[in-house]
Each structure stands twice: as structure tokens, then as C-alpha cells.
Structure 1
Amino acid sequence: MKSQDGAERNRKELIVYDAIIIGGGPAGLQAALTLGRMHRRTLLLDSGAYRNATVRHAHNLLTNDGRDPAELRRIARTEIAAYDTVQIRDALASAVERDGDAVTVTVDDERLRTHAVILATGMADELPPIPGLAERWGDTVANCPFCHGHEFAGRPVAVVNASPHAAVLVRMLEPVASAVHVVDPADVREVVDAPTGLRLVRTAGDPLDVAGAFVAPTWRPRGDLLGRIGVEFQETGAVRTDPSGRTSVEGVYAVGDIAHPDHLPGPMFSLAAAILGGQLAAVAVVHSLAAS
């Protein structure tokens, strides 16, 4: 019996971290803060790639409406630095694997063992191939009316989207904008700056001047960690999770833009939702550690 107890103790001692968080956006940072406050040994890996990297003003976030997302990350890191059980490392994880009663993460040719991994790697957006569109993404070209709609209030906007879902977006924007124009991406030859904000140079007809344009990008999970570890996906393309971020792989959680909990119609692309997801997953990890 003593030898079994010793083997169990040695196996647990091999688990270097209580949690490893992959991703340094709002979801990952909130998870790190919550774990730090519970004195859990935590490593956050930040590749430096962020979905909102081109955005200069984040909106619809209580007490921080309009703040630069880079400043939000800087403030979060400063706050987390007060908790000495949390380490932040600017590095890219190359592999995540389930290994017996633990999970291993490979980073810089080093294999680290942990009780749990919280994946907060985010999404990557692919825009329609319209010249000038990508250069204005996150400014006069946006996706989310909750995050960017008010900035065009009282002025005309364009919805560059041939999808049937465009009608819903139009109705959402009608109380905000003075006019909403629906434009097929195939009819836009180029997007340039204009005194009003944005000019859509069309293949036929006069250019359309608007304050801004809304575009529905094609999105995909960033990197290839998710497919390699074998987590289950929803039909939306996001990772299937329970309300606390647990995936189909034991000890692996997914939060932020990549997560689609079963109780929601789709992933929630917002800073507030990402922060909530990071906190819920961290709480679930703490409960799991306490029960083990």
C-alpha cells in the first residue's frame, strides 16, 4: 500500500503547473488573474497574435469603453504581475497532448506537464479579396455592430455581404445609421478613404460614400493545436464546450472566440464574453484541483 501511495505522490509531483493558458487575449488574461488569486501555479503563453490587433478602440466593455485593446492587455499584465504564482511567457505553444492523468504542452522544444490547459488562442479572420478592405479592418471597416456601430451614428453605412443574414444586420443598424446600403462584395472593385470616411468604388455605377462598412469575414481557429489534440467541434466551426469551457478532452478547456458552449446558438465574439469565459474556466480548474 505504501508503494502505491508513493507512486501516486511521485506522479502528482511530475505535474509542474496547475494550469497552462495558451493565448494572451482577454480570455486568457482573465483566466490567469483568477488562478493567480487562488494561488495556483499558472503559466500563460502569449504568441503575440491577436484577433483585434488592428483595432485601436475597443467598445462595449464596461469601465473601458473606447480603450485601446493593447492598453487593456498591458493593464491586465500589470495586475497579474502582483500574483507570484503566475508566469507570463511570450512564446508559441507547438503541441498539446493528453498524457495519462496530465496534459503536456510543448513550447520552445520543452515539454511541460500540467493538470489543465486553457486554450484561448482566438480566431483569425479572412476578408473578401477587395483591395483596401484589409487595410481599414478594425477602423472604418468592421464586423460587429455592438462594438463599432455607434461610431457611425447618424451617418450612412454599407453592409458588404451577399449572405441572407445581411438582412438581420441591416435591421440592427437601422436605429443607429442614417441609411444602410447593402452591397454585394462582387460589385466592389476597391475601398478607399473619403471625406465621409469610406468610399466603395463599384464595378458598375457611381462610387458609394459612407461613414463605414460592415463585412462578415470567414473565420477559423488560429493555429493547428485544436485539431491535433482531438477536441470536438460544433457545426459553427468553434470548439464544443460545456458552460464552464470544458472540451471533449479531459483537462482541456477552450475559452474566448474559439469556444461555442452547447447552451448558446454560436460563439460569442466580444471582450466581455471572452473575459467571462476565462473566469468560468479558471474556476472550473480550481474546483477540479480541489477535488483531485
Structure 2
Amino acid sequence: MTDENGYDVVVIGGGPAGLSGALTLSRARRSVLVIDAGAQRNAPAGGVHNYLGREGTAPGELYRIGRGEIEGYGGEIRAGAVAEVTGAAGDFIIRLEDGDEVRARRILLATGAVDDLPDVPGLRERWGRDVIHCPYCHGWEVRDRPIGILATSAGAVHQAQLFRQWSADVTLFAHTAAAELGDEQLADLAARGVRVVEGTVAALRIEEDAITGVELEGGLVVPMGAVVVQPKPIARAGMVAGLGLEPVEVERGGMVIGTALSVDPTGETAVPGIWAAGNVADGYATVIKSAAAGVDAAALINFDLAAAGVYSPVAEAPEAVTASAS
């Protein structure tokens, strides 16, 4: 339940980080509202993997279970998208796209990221199914298939090296990164049995709801059963831009690999009272890592509220207890 000051915490985003944080806060007897736009990044995937106890669970089912657990502890879930956050710690105003407003003392931002994918027809349609990026998330599901690596940078060599563990039939399509592949890298790939195909990829061939091949400019089609790409996760954070919170570019090996909100080790952002967890703060975090980040941030939010003297109604007015010496 809320009071005239709104919720203790509003969690924006109902993915693994947001729901895990909300569960932790609900169990801490905080008044919690989760606002969920229903745009989870891993929604197309068939299952969540490397999540102990939930291996293979469909993302939608995992989130359904989580929402029920939160509501079981008194937390609230609301479908909707947040347009803007204003105010300050102690009295944030969260305006939804439908015009409604809610207030919160603290905010956990768990809005995730959007994957910026190469502009290749068929790629986005199969994203999260047989167009993949992470061998640990999806390698088992495409094991022993012919796997194609779409090279948009020299980093694709590393992907080819990794996916070779899951299949003996790996092909690197030089695509737009042909000039970045040096003799040493090509020799390494050849030694591992990875073939390299020159030319720009024009499209993916899809038949009966599955990838069947990679089509090059010029018409050549190479049969394939899965395609690996390196997306750029772009943090969803437009609703807090008015508070001065802007994602920064994340670099690896001198290349920009995405954007994310900057947070301290507790998950707190540069705006007091706002924490961020999950892919909005780490675009390469797995589901279980995002969930753990949500739990950690929630614990620090609860600590922060307690330090400010904000307690649940039960704690504010405890019944008198008299000890008897009998």
C-alpha cells in the first residue's frame, strides 16, 4: 500500500533485474510498484539458460512466476510505459505515456537495452532464435549445426573461435570486416577448421520458420543452420534524460560496443535516489547476472531508505511489549 507520498520504490522495467529487485524490496516490507512496458530484450528466445533451477524456462513464464511472487508479498505490478521522470529523491514523479502519474521516494531503473543489429534482411526476424550472439546463452541449442559468423568487426574472429566448441562446421562471413582480418587471424581460423567466405552478406534465407542459408551479394547462397552476430546494446534511458542521466558509450578493444548508464558498485546513478540494474547499466549482463544486480541494488535502496528514517507502517508504530519476570 502507498501513503500520501506515493510508493517507497517504483521499479521501472519488469525483466530479470526489475522483478528481482522488486521481490527483494517487497520482502523488505517496502511499498513497491513495478511498471512494465512488456518489452523484455530476451522475449524472442525459447528459454533462459545458465539460470540455476530455471534452466530452459521460457522468458515469459519466468516473468509470470516472478510477478506472482512479488504480488504474494504485497508488491504491485502495472502494465505501461514511462514517458518521463521528474522530481528528486524523496519525491520523484513518474509520468506514464497514458498520462497517469505516480510518486516514489526512490527509483530502480531496470529498463534494459535495445539491440542495434546489422541491416541485413531476415536478421531481426530470427533474432533470439537462430540468429544469436552468445555461445553460453544459445550455443547448446545450435550445436552441431552449420554456424555462420557475420563479421562486422575483427572481433568476429573471437566469436568464431568460441562457437567452434559447439560445432565443427563454422564459417566466418567476412562481410564488412574483410579489411580488418589479418594474415595471422586468417591462419588461426584455418588451423581451427573455420572457413572464411569473402563478400558482403545480402540477406538470410528463411524457410519454414528457420534459417536455411546466407545469401551474398551476387546471389551465392551458403547453407547455414544458425547465424551469429555482434549487436550493440543501446540503453533504454530516455525517461530520465531530463534529470541529466544520459547513457555513455561503452568501448572494448578500441571499439564502441554499445551504451549504458554509469553506476557505482552499488548500482546508484549520478542522480541521488535512482539506482540502475540489468542491461540498462550493463548491456552484456546475462539474465542471472541482471537478476543478481537487481537484488543488490534493492538491498542498497532499502538501506538508503532506512538510513533516512523511512520505515513500514508496522515498524513506525510497534505494539508495546512488556517483559514479565515471572
Instruction: State if a TM-score over 0.5 links the two structures.
Output: yes
Displacement, 1:223?
Answer: 5.5
* 2:205 aligned with 1:192: yes
SS in 1 for 2:57: coil
Match of 1:230 in 2: 244
Distance 1:167 1:226, change over 3 A: farther
Cα separation, 2, equivalents of 1:101 and 1:71: 34
Deviation digits for residues 240-271 of structure 1 (CA, Å, limit 9, x no counterpart): 111221000000111110114xxxxxx43310
* 2:201 aligned with 1:211: no
Match of 2:279 in 1: 257
Matches within 5 A, 1:76-155: 76-84=66-74, 86-99=75-88, 101-107=90-96, 108-155=98-145
Q: Percent identity?
A: 33
Match of 1:8 in 2: none
Displacement, 1:36?
Answer: 0.7
Amino acid in structure 2 at the alignment position of 1:95: E
Match of 1:290 in 2: 306
Cα separation, 1, equivalents of 2:20 and 2:89: 28
Matches within 5 A, 1:27-66: 27-66=17-56
Amino acid in structure 1 at the alignment position of 2:268: R
Deviation digits for residues 163-214 of structure 1 (CA, Å, limit 9, x no counterpart): 0111211222122211321114451122123699531011247422222111
> Is contact 1:162-1:183 (8 Å) kept?
no
Amino acid in structure 1 at the alignment position of 2:88: D
What RMSD over aligned residues (CA atoms) do the two structures have, in Å? Answer: 2.0
Amino acid in structure 1 at the alignment position of 2:79: D
* 2:300 aligned with 1:278: no
> Is contact 2:267-2:297 (8 Å) kept?
yes
Q: Is the deviation greater in 30-39 or in 179-188?
A: 179-188
Displacement, 1:224?
Answer: 1.4
Match of 2:173 in 1: 183
Q: Match for 2:270 among 239, 243, 248?
A: 248
Cα separation, 2, equivalents of 1:68 and 1:134: 19
Displacement, 1:156?
Answer: 2.5
Cα separation, 2, equivalents of 1:246 and 1:191: 42
SS in 1 for 2:92: strand
Displacement, 1:91?
Answer: 1.4
Cα separation, 2, equivalents of 1:164 and 1:17: 48
Q: How many residues align?
A: 273
Distance 1:185 1:97, change over 3 A: farther
Structure 1 gaps of 5+ residues are: 1-12, 261-266
Structure 2 gaps of 5+ residues are: 177-199, 251-258, 309-326
Q: Is the deviation greater in 25-34 or in 148-157?
A: 148-157
Computing the radius of gyration over CA atoms, which structure comes out larger, 1 or 2? Answer: 2
